[in-house]
Amino acid sequence: MKYFLKVFSIALLCFTVVMGAGAYTYFNFFDSTANANDKRNDHPMRDYTQEEIENLPAFEKAVANSDRINVLLIGIEAEGRSDTLVFASFDPKTKKVDMISVPRDTEYHVPGYDTADNRKLNAVYIRNLKKGHKVAAEKTMEAVEEILGVPIDNYATISYDGVENIVESLGGVEMDVPQRMKYEYFYPDGTKEMRYLEEGTQVLNGSEAIGFLRFRKGYANGDIGRVEAQQKFIKAALKKALGFNLPKVAMTVAKEVKTDMSVLDITANATKAIGMNMNNVNAHTLPGETKSLTFQGWTLSFFEHNEDETRELMKEIYGVEADEDLDEKIAE
């Protein structure tokens, strides 16, 4: 059951990048019968008797019966905020992976944290970091569970430095840069300088990849534009990773990724990903729109997710027909 692998970070390459693609790789690096995840059966969204499951609405029933493995991939900024969030869901029966990029600016309110900056999803991680990395990641995982309406089994996090090192281990990633991009390059001593990526197809090294992934001010739709660019990067990174020296990449990933998953022998299993079909990876973005919202006199740009469309997306992923779910509601 536990196909997910730390090399998911191969795609984690860019949080979103690395995050999604890696998830796919990770899933296939581990034998499905090894290292079962005890947390799966204890989750309240799965903790039902068979009789209770039969009386659930179609979608909730599908979630309770599903063997899907859900993982939240978290990219961390130097300041401690979660900069990129990607939900990765693997179906062991079809060997398909669905990734949902969740914008960091998604509006998410926790009572008691009412200021505008505290109502952004990426504030959850840093707010809980004083209690430790594990608590911060778990609280973020719980927030995304609430937004998506499905259980998440595990988390994995990576920093920008980690992403840079993974990209370097791949020998760079080829991308078509859509426009001239300005980004900050940080030296080991903390000093920085402004650098540029020119428009056009090119192989990005580690630091250039970070610049590409963090760039968003030049996109007409802001953070959503960045999310879409990251998704393209994910697929490009994974495509290269699957035809590259995976054991070498896996070792780099193992050093850079923090996760609550148990890992077997990554290097020995990494070669299982070679030859995998990229057509089995589906990338989505959380449904919604960008809005300016004001809280306590402070106006900021937020991403407001659409609950109805999000539920429809999750039903699609879990194989629940819209009519089937509607019939359940009518029966009630």
Does residue 143 lie within any of the structural domains?
A: yes
Residue type at 103 in one-letter notation: P
pLDDT, tens digit, 9 for 90 and up, residues 83-99: 788 898 888 777 778 88
CA distance 171 to 107: 37
Task: Tell me which residue of 160, 135, 147 sits closest to 18, measured CA to CA.
Answer: 160
Does residue 192 lie within any of the structural domains?
A: no
Task: Tell me which residue of 228, 320, 242 sits closest to 279, measured CA to CA.
Answer: 242
Domain that residue 49 falls in: 6-171+205-210+221-331
Does residue 108 lie within any of the structural domains?
A: yes
Rounded alpha-carbon distances, angstroms, from residue 36 to 3, 16, 321: 10, 26, 30
pLDDT, tens digit, 9 for 90 and up, residues 126-184: 999 999 989 999 999 999 999 999 999 888 888 777 788 888 888 899 999 999 998 88
Kindly state the average pLDDT of the residues 20-36: 43
For residue 322, pLDDT beyond 70: no
For residue 69, pLDDT beyond 70: yes
Does residue 189 lie within any of the structural domains?
A: no
pLDDT, tens digit, 9 for 90 and up, residues 111-120: 999 898 889 9
Helices (H) and strands (E) in the chain, counts: 14, 12
Does residue 101 lie within any of the structural domains?
A: yes
Does residue 193 lie within any of the structural domains?
A: no
pLDDT band at 204 (very low <50, low <70, confident <90, very high): very high
Residue 282 sits in a domain whose CATH number is 3.40.630.190
What domain count does the chain have? 1
Range scoring the smallest mean pLDDT among 29-33, 166-170, 214-218, 294-298: 29-33
The pLDDT of residue 319 is 93
User: Is-contact 99 283, C-beta < 8 A?
Assistant: yes
Residue with more model confidence, 247 or 143: 143
For 304, the token pair is 């407001």
Instruction: Confirm whether pTM is higher than 0.85.
Output: no
